[in-house]
Amino acid sequence: MKSAQTEDTLKENIATVRELLTQRKREEETEDQRSAENQEATKSLFQYQHWLELQAILKPLHIGDIAHILEILPLDDRLTVWQQVNIFRRGDVLLEVSDAVRENLIQSISEEDLLAALNLMDADDLAYIADDIPEDLLKIRQKTLTTEDKNWLRRAMSYEEDSVGFLMSNEMVVIYDNDALKDAAKILRGLEKLPIHNDTLFVVDRRGILRGILSLQNILLNDPNLPVHNIMETDIVYFSPQDDAGEASQAFERYDLVSAPVISDRGKLVGRLTVDVVMDYIRDEATEDVLNMAGISAEEDLFAPILNSARNRALWLLFNLGAAFFISQIIGIFEATITQLVSLAVLMPIVTSVGGNIGNQTAAIIIRGMTLGQINKENTTYLMRKELGVSALNGLVIGSIVGIFSFILYKNIALSIVISVAMLLTLILAALLGLLVPIFLHRIGRDPALGSSVIMTATIDSVGFFIFLGLASIFLVK
Amino acid sequence: MKSAQTEDTLKENIATVRELLTQRKREEETEDQRSAENQEATKSLFQYQHWLELQAILKPLHIGDIAHILEILPLDDRLTVWQQVNIFRRGDVLLEVSDAVRENLIQSISEEDLLAALNLMDADDLAYIADDIPEDLLKIRQKTLTTEDKNWLRRAMSYEEDSVGFLMSNEMVVIYDNDALKDAAKILRGLEKLPIHNDTLFVVDRRGILRGILSLQNILLNDPNLPVHNIMETDIVYFSPQDDAGEASQAFERYDLVSAPVISDRGKLVGRLTVDVVMDYIRDEATEDVLNMAGISAEEDLFAPILNSARNRALWLLFNLGAAFFISQIIGIFEATITQLVSLAVLMPIVTSVGGNIGNQTAAIIIRGMTLGQINKENTTYLMRKELGVSALNGLVIGSIVGIFSFILYKNIALSIVISVAMLLTLILAALLGLLVPIFLHRIGRDPALGSSVIMTATIDSVGFFIFLGLASIFLVK
């Protein structure tokens, strides 16, 4: 075996890159202390040597590895490494990195550099990252495309980001249904470059209508002189460009697909969807849920500048702050009650804290079910009954514990009953909200996870405090 | 095209299954009201007819579709549908459903039924679900395996659940390096069934040592009389059975793999890892993060019985409850202070509510970074500086807003300064915890997401109340 890029060698490479970067910084610092006259000359010499070393490390690396290294480097180091990537590979690297890192790179590199990378991309790749490219640069690049590629790019850019059309590629191997199996090898040889994940050829008739698929395996196993339509499979999974990418990714999982044809309304073959793109989509979608639940609106670069990160998270923090003010006003209604019985202030966070946890648990279960396409109108009622049952059960147990505990502390049976009842009611409300908030967000066309935790906690807190302090003001104080 | 299982036809099928199930229930209810004498006969006739209809719907469905239908049905309906699945397909369905649904099915169906399904599974499949099968049944099934299969099963069961060894399969096509390309077709024809995702053949020498891989594409494109070792690729990605499944899945994404060889320490080919299994793993891992953050320990069936769900979520709720008691005791220390200045009780939830949100945001970013393998010792310090910066910035803004707001409400400048400072300190602490709690959980070998939200909120609440009320008792009351 010539070489094998395992995790260990990747880790070694990352360590070397890091070392080079630190070394360079240290030397730059030393240089600053030298006399100004020969500083410039030495600096460029040092740099030149480091660049060569860095280039030598990057050269044999897989594009995916270079992208990974860029992902885990702070911003300035990221730019340093990018500049040493071979100019012919930069386009591929730009495609491979995450959205957040791509945005950051495009902002940091010079227009000239970016245009050079764009010029090496085909229409397919351009469409994928078009949203991130400054419009004027995209226009310059478009001018040099063939008419066919221009059309593809225009069409691809018109699809929604979460659609199959946006994710599909125009790289595919097509064979006519009247061809013989042996023609497949000829077609493959005639291609400039073989498409990735090319497990099947797509079979069309003379009008371009999809007729079936032909696996490489079947070509190998059958008489090369047989016509394609005798061997091709016709019971296949295909998509339309308008299909939702999430549903398509579930289909890829269910039917264990590697690639699938995308056809127009009239049955014409228009593109191909491959498992690598689907896998990236699944990863993005699922990790987004984690961020969205916590109240982070967009994908955020781990190493984004402080100001960007702060801005990205501010929206939901401000919402939360507004909610907190509202909650404090609700408590304010009962100021007189609390003054009479200060133990209420001591006990009240117990009610809402456990409530918030129950709400988050329910929401997490529901959001996961939605991501997996398991929730629909028919089973919502069933799920509501179930979640209410779970929280009523947990509410009874937890309410009793809290009642006993508060009795031990304050020897006040009425107070214990009030907090137990408030607890039970709040937990049932929490479960209901955990179910309804994601479903509501989904119905109004939002991501069900986005801010669900913040919205829910705010509602549970305000209602929870109101129930507890309200009951207390009725039954405990005069 | 003969037929194509698109999302729409799947949805139609699900609707029909649902309709049949409701219809049956309605009829059962009507039957209950009839005279007892001829009830039995009618019932079985009705049922028989429904079974046939259900079987007719299920028969042409892909295994993945049947699994999906089972996932979204409540427990009793799930069992009804399962019983109408063709006995020869039940094993595959059992493999395809999620862990939670599999567990539920295995608990609900009779031993006889389960054993029949197990008998149709090969050693590979058995290893994958072995943990869920009652030990005595597994032993009965094992007796009928060949020695080779028994060994495979024993070895496969010995690997950790999150390792490549656990996920790999023994279904692969192997060719010797001295064979000619044309032998590949012979080997493929000789197989009882073709392995899934068979894009490449694995090339070994006479001792079974992996020498390279040979893609079907290369077989098609080259002279069939050439020896395999002239054409095979040797620069390949391979894994060891002990490798972490998470890292392997990242490698599949990075290098766009469909299948990859797994080799022993001595270089012997021992198995194959395929993209369908990796994709399932990615999905499970990512959706688990959402559940774990909210404090749900295991994967939970959307339709699990109420008691099971309640038990599954109780652990972290009880932890939360304990923490809430602790927090209330901290507030209790300051009872006298609150009695003197009841506005403290009104304002205190603002401090901790925003703190909890900041902590969750930071934790979400860190947990996602960990899942993507982007966080290591070298960049932790950098991230800590960054997250502290973000929260200090947001803390200053939010602290000022809260200060101004509380001044408008209470016209007490000292109180406003106290709450602003408490806010700033709590938010910085929250960011620190959002970073450190997941890292700590990861270091002690736990899932970084598991309960992180609960642990963090508890700490932020207790310290936040302590800071606010503590400062207040020093500076505001006498």
**Residue pointed to by tokens 């107070």:** A415
pLDDT tier, B1 (very low <50, low <70, confident <90, very high otherwise): very low
Mean pLDDT of B66-82: 88
Judgement on whether residues B268 and B323 belong to the same structural domain of the protein: no
**Residue pointed to by tokens 């502290």:** B388
**Per-residue pLDDT tens for A229-239?**
999 999 899 99
pLDDT at A3: 35
Three-state DSSP class for residue B239: strand
Higher pLDDT among residues A56 and A41, named by residue? A56
Given A235, A268, A294, which residue is the final one in a domain?
A294
For A352, the closest chain B residue by CA position comes to: B324
Higher pLDDT among residues B287 and A126, named by residue? A126
In a mutational test of the A interface, the residue from B92, B218, B258, B426 whose CB has the highest number of chain A CBs within 10 Å is: B258
Determine the straight-line distance between the first and last CA of chain B, rounded to whole angstroms: 86
List of chain B residues whose C-beta atoms are within 8 Å of the C-beta of residue A67? 254
pLDDT at A194: 79
Q: CB A386 to CB B309 under 8 A?
A: yes
Copy the structure tokens of residue B388. Answer: 């502290």
Judgement on whether residues B393 and B469 belong to the same structural domain of the protein: yes
**Per-residue pLDDT tens for A255-307?**
999 999 999 999 999 999 999 999 989 888 877 888 888 888 767 788 888 88
List of chain B residues whose C-beta atoms are within 8 Å of the C-beta of residue A196? 256
Residue type (1 letter), A219: I
pLDDT at A9: 72
In a domain, A127, yes or no: no
Flag the least confident range among A166-170, B20-24, B88-92. B20-24
pLDDT at B25: 73
Cα distance from B139 to chain A (closest Cα, Å)?
30
In a domain, A167, yes or no: no
Given B268, B294, B320, which residue is the final one in a domain?
B294
pLDDT tier, A31 (very low <50, low <70, confident <90, very high otherwise): low
**Per-residue pLDDT tens for B116-170?**
999 888 888 888 888 888 988 888 888 888 888 888 888 888 898 889 999 999 8
List of chain A residues whose C-beta atoms are within 8 Å of the C-beta of residue B211? 1
> pLDDT averaged over chain B?
87
List of chain A residues whose C-beta atoms are within 8 Å of the C-beta of residue B252? 279
In a domain, A180, yes or no: yes
pLDDT at B263: 95
> pLDDT averaged over chain A?
87
Residue A241 pLDDT > 70, yes or no? yes
Q: How far is CA A325 from the centre of its chain?
A: 32
Judgement on whether residues A337 and A441 belong to the same structural domain of the protein: yes
Among A188, A254, A353, whose Cβ lies nearest the Cβ of B217? Answer: A188
pLDDT at A5: 47
Domain count, chain B: 3
Q: Is the ipTM of this complex over 0.85?
A: no
Judgement on whether residues B68 and B187 belong to the same structural domain of the protein: no
**Residue pointed to by tokens 């290893």:** B127
pLDDT at A75: 84
In a domain, B160, yes or no: no
In a domain, A235, yes or no: yes
Residue B454 pLDDT > 80, yes or no? yes
Half-sphere exposure of B276 (CA within 13 A, CB side): 19
Other CB atoms closer than 10 Å to residue A278's CB: what's the count? 25
Structural domain containing residue B111: 7-120
Among B2, B345, B356, whose Cβ lies nearest the Cβ of A345? Answer: B345
In a domain, A245, yes or no: yes
Residue B7 pLDDT > 80, yes or no? no
Q: Which residues face A210 on adjacent strands?
A: A204
Judgement on whether residues B359 and B389 belong to the same structural domain of the protein: yes
Judgement on whether residues B287 and B312 belong to the same structural domain of the protein: no
pLDDT tier, B3 (very low <50, low <70, confident <90, very high otherwise): very low
* DSSP class per residue in B254-304: HHT-SEEEEE-TTSBEEEEEEHHHHHHHHHHHHHHHHHHHHT--S---TT-
**Per-residue pLDDT tens for A333-378?**
999 999 999 999 999 999 999 999 999 999 988 988 888 888 888 7
Copy the structure tokens of residue B335. Answer: 């009872």
Judgement on whether residues B320 and B279 belong to the same structural domain of the protein: no
Judgement on whether residues B204 and B310 belong to the same structural domain of the protein: no
For A376, the closest chain B residue by CA position comes to: B72
CATH number at residue A466: 1.10.357.20
In a domain, A82, yes or no: yes
Three-state DSSP class for residue B139: helix
Judgement on whether residues A328 and A459 belong to the same structural domain of the protein: yes
Judgement on whether residues A188 and A280 belong to the same structural domain of the protein: yes
pLDDT tier, B6 (very low <50, low <70, confident <90, very high otherwise): low
> Closest Cα partner for A245 from A306, A179, A161, A309?
A161
* DSSP class per residue in B75-102: HHHHHHHHHTS-TTTHHHHHHHS-HHHH
Residue B426 pLDDT > 90, yes or no? yes
d(CA A60, CA B235): 11
Cα distance from B31 to chain A (closest Cα, Å)?
24
List of chain B residues whose C-beta atoms are within 8 Å of the C-beta of residue A13? none
In a domain, B136, yes or no: no
Given A294, A321, A345, which residue is the final one in a domain?
A294
Higher pLDDT among residues A40 and B63, named by residue? B63
Judgement on whether residues B213 and B358 belong to the same structural domain of the protein: no
Q: CB B286 to CB A291 under 8 A?
A: no
pTM for this structure?
Answer: 0.84
| Cβ-contact B394, A317 below 8 angstroms | yes
Cα distance from A287 to chain B (closest Cα, Å)?
6
**Per-residue pLDDT tens for A394-411?**
999 999 999 999 999 899
Judgement on whether residues A345 and A461 belong to the same structural domain of the protein: yes
CA quadruple A251, A255, A260, A262: dihedral sign: negative
CATH number at residue B262: 3.10.580.10
